[in-house]
Structure 1
Amino acid sequence: MFLAWNEIKHAKLRFTLIIGVMTLISYLVFFLVGLAYGLAMDNRTSVDKWDASGIVLTDESNANINMSMMPRSLADDVDADEVAILGQAPNVVRKEGETGEDAKINVTFFGIEKDQFLMPDLIDGEEFTEDYEVIADISLQEEFGIELGDVLKMAGSELEVEVVGFTEDAKFNVAPVLYTTVNTYQDVRFGQIDESEEGRISAIIARDESFSDIELDNEDLRSYSIKEYIEEIPGYMAQVLTFGLMIGFLIVIAAIVIGIFMYVLTVQKSSLFGVMKAQGISTAYIAKSVVAQTFILAAVGVGIGLILTVGTAFVLPATVPYSTNIIFLAVITGMLILFAVLGAFFSVRAIAKIDPLEAIG
């Protein structure tokens, strides 16, 4: 460590460039991790909010809630500790009095029963008490300036809803969720209200000790665990796999880049290492110095990249789907440093092959 640190202090410019490359690569990796995690969570936060064991859809819907439609009476065919009905409908809304493309907001309506467990916790305002009142995800306020009491008009119809409360972490398929009554959902989706047992809904959400305890008494229904259902959300797995591969390749590239830098430096210093060997300094000591040097460079570079990422997260606008996950950052940090150190072992092999007599002269 003594030799490694002193060499870094002696050749500041050379090693600053290496640290700079490591900083930029780690900053890119950390930022992509935040974007990937943010996009993934924007697809599923409202589903996680259910805290449920499973979801029941029609068998013909192929796990797509947009294609699932059933009478609300089918909730009696689901045997679980707790059962809640859900109507889901995507729509476009705009604040009353505003016009233009920028005023349009993609949202998802969740029609729920107020006394069932799908009712979200509020961070502002109050629960809906009648039809055409909604509880909105807080992103509508942060990104679009929607406030309590604002009226939202539906696209393509004369329907209007009033925002009476806000909740957090309620997005579905990247769109903010508006929680409302089942009657309102039916009017939004079908243009009419049906309060009978044959009134249509989209899904039945079930809570039980485990998913395997949920039983169905209807062959036209199919149950999915929450994990299975999330994986079937359109675009979710494609995003996760795409970003996962990008991040994995970047980590490997970072290891290769730092390994190449250290190998080139080792070759350039072969005569110096030859002199050191001739003076009786062991190959193991020199190799440990190179590995320690790589660790220092990687740790400093990754650390600066991490600081830049955290700083960037504070100044990003709310419209950017970025989210920080401490566990992911810790794992990626460890992997970047580990792979960089492993890349340095190519230099160790070069050191072992140095002949003192040939290197000196």
Structure 2
Amino acid sequence: MFLAWKEIKHAKMRYALVIGILILVSYLVYFLTGLAYGLAEDNRTAIDKWDADAIVLPDGANVNINRSVLKSSDKDQINADSIASLGVVSTVLQSPKKGETDTKEGEVVKDIADDKIEVAIFGINSNEFIMPNLIEGESFSKDFEVVADIRLHEEYGVEIGDELALFGDLEESFKIVGFTEQAQFNVQPVLYATIPTFQAIRFGKVTDSKNKSISAFILRHHRLEDIEVQNDELKVFSIDSFINELPGYMAQVLTFGLMIIFLITIAAVIIGIFMYVLTVQKISMFGVMKAQGISTFYIAKYVVNQTFLLSIIGLVIGLLLTLVTAYFLPSSVPFSLNVLFMGAISVLILLFSVLGSLFSVYSVAQIDPLEAIG
């Protein structure tokens, strides 16, 4: 390790180029990982908040909650530890800034853009376990009062007490009474409301209170396989299976995953090529070292240690750049860092880089001292 570090300090410019390539590649890998993880989280954070084990949907919905319609009375045909009713519908709201203008000395300077907010409405019962924890405000107590994801405040400036108008035939508007965090579904912020509110948006009216229409039942049960449903038209799916069937979710995960794997492989190849070129340039020096009785194992260890040091430096700087970038990114960008993912990717890049340097080790092993000296 000592010899490897001494040479890096001696030939600063040469190794700075190698480190520069490593920084750029690792920065790209880390940044794409953050985007991939953030996008995946924005699809499912509201589901993760349930801390549930399973979901019940009609067989004909094809695991798509947006096409699912159930009756509240179906709950009696399900045997589980805890059961919560849920209605899901997507809609578009009007930002409270609509119609406002900036003025200067009594003259209109510009119109503030009409902001349309795409949201997912979760109709729930506030006394059931899928009711989210509040970070500000209070729970809804009547129809068309909602608890909103905090991103509405961060991105659109929505405050408690604001009323958000609905686009469409309904003349009602939502009143924000509280905020929760980490509540996104299909990359849309979630608004929690009463089930009659969901019905009014989804069906244009509130259905019979005894047999209300909903989208799904969310279950908690100690053993998934022990859940009993006494209706062949209803199917039980694990939460993981349900998430994997979300529209576009698996396509996003697989696409970004393959990109990251290819980038890690490319990084290893680049490092291996650089180290091989540097090794070839030092064949005569290695020949002298072998002639002096220094073992091939010692020289090979020096090459591997040097690759390890260069990789560590590049990874650390690349990670720091990623953290700085994440700090300045707007909240609208789906970016999130996961310590386990970042650690695993760092280990993989480091491992593949060291494996790539084995080509240089092979070259060292083939050096003939007499031929190298000339």
Which residue number in structure 2 is paired with residue 24 of structure 1? 24
Which residue number in structure 2 is paired with residue 76 of structure 1? 76
Question: In structure 1, how many angstroms separate the alpha carbons of the residues matched to 2:276 and 2:314?
Answer: 18
In the TM superposition, what is the alpha-carbon distance from 1:95 to its structure 2 partner?
A: 2.3
Equivalent pairs: percent with the same residue? 57
Partner of 2:211, secondary structure, is: coil
**259-268 or 1-10: bigger deviation:** 1-10
In the TM superposition, what is the alpha-carbon distance from 1:96 to its structure 2 partner?
A: 3.7
Give the alignment of 1:71-150 within 5 angstroms.
71-96=71-96, 98=98, 103-150=115-162
Q: Which amino acid counterpart does residue 314 of structure 2 have in structure 1? A: G
Deviations 1:335-354 (A, max 9, x none): 11111111101000000111
Partner of 2:253, secondary structure, is: helix
1:261 to 274, 278, 298: 274
Partner of 2:333, secondary structure, is: coil
Aligned pair count?
361
In the TM superposition, what is the alpha-carbon distance from 1:197 to its structure 2 partner?
A: 2.6
Which residue number in structure 2 is paired with residue 189 of structure 1? 202
Any stretches of 5+ residues in structure 1 without a counterpart?
none
Q: Is the 8 Å Cα contact of residues 96 and 158 (structure 2) preserved in structure 1? A: no
In the TM superposition, what is the alpha-carbon distance from 1:359 to its structure 2 partner?
A: 1.1
Q: Is the 8 Å Cα contact of residues 183 and 195 (structure 1) preserved in structure 2? A: no
In the TM superposition, what is the alpha-carbon distance from 1:213 to its structure 2 partner?
A: 2.0
Q: Is the 8 Å Cα contact of residues 71 and 197 (structure 1) preserved in structure 2? A: no
Which residue number in structure 1 is paired with residue 189 of structure 2? 176
Q: Which amino acid counterpart does residue 145 of structure 2 have in structure 1? A: E
Q: Is the 8 Å Cα contact of residues 95 and 150 (structure 1) preserved in structure 2? A: no
Q: Is the 8 Å Cα contact of residues 88 and 120 (structure 2) preserved in structure 1? A: yes
Q: Which amino acid counterpart does residue 109 of structure 1 have in structure 2? A: I
Which residue number in structure 1 is paired with residue 104 of structure 2? none
Which residue number in structure 2 is paired with residue 209 of structure 1? 222
Which residue number in structure 1 is paired with residue 106 of structure 2? none
Q: 1:266 to 1:97 in 2, by over 3 A?
A: closer
The answer to whether the aligner puts 1:248 opposite 2:261 as a matched pair is yes
So what's the TM-score if we normalise by structure 1? 0.98
Question: In structure 1, how many angstroms separate the alpha carbons of the residues matched to 2:236 and 2:180?
Answer: 28
In the TM superposition, what is the alpha-carbon distance from 1:255 to its structure 2 partner?
A: 0.5
Question: In structure 1, how many angstroms separate the alpha carbons of the residues matched to 2:362 and 2:137?
Answer: 66
In the TM superposition, what is the alpha-carbon distance from 1:45 to its structure 2 partner?
A: 0.5
Question: In structure 1, how many angstroms separate the alpha carbons of the residues matched to 2:343 and 2:89?
Answer: 38
In the TM superposition, what is the alpha-carbon distance from 1:221 to its structure 2 partner?
A: 0.6
In the TM superposition, what is the alpha-carbon distance from 1:101 to its structure 2 partner?
A: 6.5
Q: 1:159 to 1:207 in 2, by over 3 A?
A: same
The answer to whether the aligner puts 1:290 opposite 2:303 as a matched pair is yes
Q: Where does structure 1 differ by over 6 angstroms across 4 or more consecutive aligned residues?
A: none
1:333 to 329, 342, 346: 346
Q: Is the 8 Å Cα contact of residues 93 and 155 (structure 1) preserved in structure 2? A: yes
In the TM superposition, what is the alpha-carbon distance from 1:285 to its structure 2 partner?
A: 0.9
Question: In structure 2, how many angstroms separate the alpha carbons of the residues matched to 1:301 and 1:43?
Answer: 32
CA RMSD of aligned residues (A): 1.1
Deviations 1:308-349 (A, max 9, x none): 111111111101100110111111111111111111010000
Question: In structure 2, how many angstroms separate the alpha carbons of the residues matched to 1:52 and 1:213?
Answer: 15
Partner of 2:210, secondary structure, is: coil
Partner of 2:49, secondary structure, is: helix
Question: In structure 2, how many angstroms separate the alpha carbons of the residues matched to 1:305 and 1:74?
Answer: 54
Any stretches of 5+ residues in structure 2 without a counterpart?
100-111
In the TM superposition, what is the alpha-carbon distance from 1:195 to its structure 2 partner?
A: 3.8
The answer to whether the aligner puts 1:323 opposite 2:329 as a matched pair is no
